[in-house]
Structure 1
Amino acid sequence: MFINIVSNYSGLKYMELNFRVATKNDSEEIASLVNRAYRPNESDAGWTHESNLVAGIRISTEQVLSLFEDNSAILLLCNKSKIVACVHVQGGDLKTYIGMLATDPRKQASGIGKKMLNHAEQYAKVNFGNVIYNMSVLSSRPELLSFYERRGYVLTGEVGEYPMSAGVGKPIVYEIKVLFLEKKLP
C-alpha cells in the first residue's frame, strides 16, 4: 500500500515519502538501515544509537529474512526508492508486537519515527484486528523510553534479561535489562 506524504519537516529537504510493505528483496537494505540507526560509527550516530551500550550488529540480513512469515510485516517509509525508516509488526491473537523501529540517522529528530510508529499501530489495527501493542526497550535508554511514553506506551512491570544468544550484539554495560511496554488504543 502506498500512502503519499509530502514532507517539509525541519532538518529535511522537501521530500516525497511513501509507505510500503517490505519484500524479501529489501532485507539487506533494512539490515543496513537498522544497524546504522542503532550501532553506527560514532560520527554517524543519531539520537537512537546504542553503540556505547552494546557492541556488534543489531540485526543481520538473515535475521531480517526470518521476519517474513504469516501475521508479520516490515513497514517501510521511502523517499523515492530509498528506505529512510522501517518498523516490524508481528500480529498475535490479541496483541501486536512492534519492534525494529529505525530511522536513517541523518533524518532522525524530524518526526519520521512518530509517523512510522503511528503507521505501525494503524496497520496492526486494520490487518490484524489488534488494538493492544507491545514492545521492548533497553533499560539503559531512558530517552527512548520517554519517546514511547509520550506516545501512550506504559511500562508493564515485566523485565527481561538481555538476549545474549539472539545474535543482536554483546552488552558493554552489563546491567542492561529489557523493559516491556504496552499501549491500548481506545
Structure 2
Amino acid sequence: MKALKYRLANANDVEVLIALINQAYRTNTGSSWTSEQNIVSGDRINDQQLLQSLALPNFSLFVAEMVEDLEPKIVACIGLTFQKDSVEIGTFCVASDWQNQGIGKQILAYAETQALEILPTLTCYDMFVLDARTELIQYYERCGYLKTQHIESYPIDANVGQPLIDLQLQQMSKPVLKVI
C-alpha cells in the first residue's frame, strides 16, 4: 500500500484540485480507467464551483497526498456532503498515474471512517454514478455499495459537462456498520 497523508482541502488547493478532477474525469491517460471522456464533454468542475462547495457548512473535501516524495503531492480527493442521517460521497478521483494501485479503496475507506466520526448518527453512505459506467458501478458493488431504485436525470444545468450519450445518475447506497 502507498503511504498517503490525508487532510481537508482549502482554498490554496483549488488550482491543483481543478486540474486533478478534470484530468481524472475527462481524460484517458496512464493507467486510468475512470475517464468519462467518451460519454461527457467539457470540464467536470471549475474554480467557482469548487470554491462554492468548499464554503458549504455540510461539505468536507479531503485530499490525499503522496508522502514518498520530498514535496507532498495531491494524488486524490473525495468529498462528503452531509444530510440528516446520511452522507453523499462525491468529487472522488485518483490521478490517472496513481490508479490501479489500491489508492481508491484506501481513500474510500478513509472517507467512510471520517464521515462516521463527523456524524456519529450516520446510517448510510450514498453516491451517484453515471449509469453507463458499469465498470465503476461494479467497483462500488465490490466495496459494499448496492444500486437503489432511485435514478436521477443527468444534471445538465449544473455545468458539469455535456453528455454525449443518454445518461442518468444511479444512486448507490451502503449501510453504516457500527461496531458495538
Query: Aligned partners of 1:92 and 1:43: how far apart in 2?
Result: 35
Contact 2:29 / 2:97 at 8 angstroms: preserved in 1?
no
**Structure 1: gaps (5+ residues):** 1-5, 8-15
Contact 2:31 / 2:98 at 8 angstroms: preserved in 1?
no
Which of 127, 134, 140 pairs up with 1:148? 140
Deviation at 1:17, TM superposition (A): 2.1
Query: Aligned partners of 2:124 and 2:169: how far apart in 1?
Result: 19
Q: TM-score, normalised by structure 2?
A: 0.90
Partner residue in 1 for 2:39: 53
Residue 39 (1) aligns with residue 16 (2):
no
Partner residue in 2 for 1:10: none
The 4+ residue runs of structure 1 with deviation greater than 3 A are: 42-45
**Structure 2: gaps (5+ residues):** none
**Matched residue SS, 1:49:** coil
Q: TM-score, normalised by structure 1?
A: 0.87
Contact 2:88 / 2:127 at 8 angstroms: preserved in 1?
yes
**Matched residue SS, 1:182:** strand
Contact 1:36 / 1:44 at 8 angstroms: preserved in 2?
no
Residue 76 (1) aligns with residue 75 (2):
no
**Matched residue SS, 2:4:** strand
Give per-residue Cα distances to partners, 1:126-150, cap 9 Å, x unaligned.
Answer: 0122241110000110000001111
Deviation at 1:108, TM superposition (A): 0.5
Query: Aligned partners of 1:23 and 1:48: how far apart in 2?
Result: 25
Q: What is the number of equivalent residue pairs in this alignment?
A: 171
**Matched residue SS, 2:101:** coil
Deviation at 1:71, TM superposition (A): 2.4
CA RMSD of aligned residues (A): 1.4
Query: Aligned partners of 1:111 and 1:131: how far apart in 2?
Result: 26
Pair 35,45 (structure 1): closer, same or farther in 2 beyond 3 Å: farther
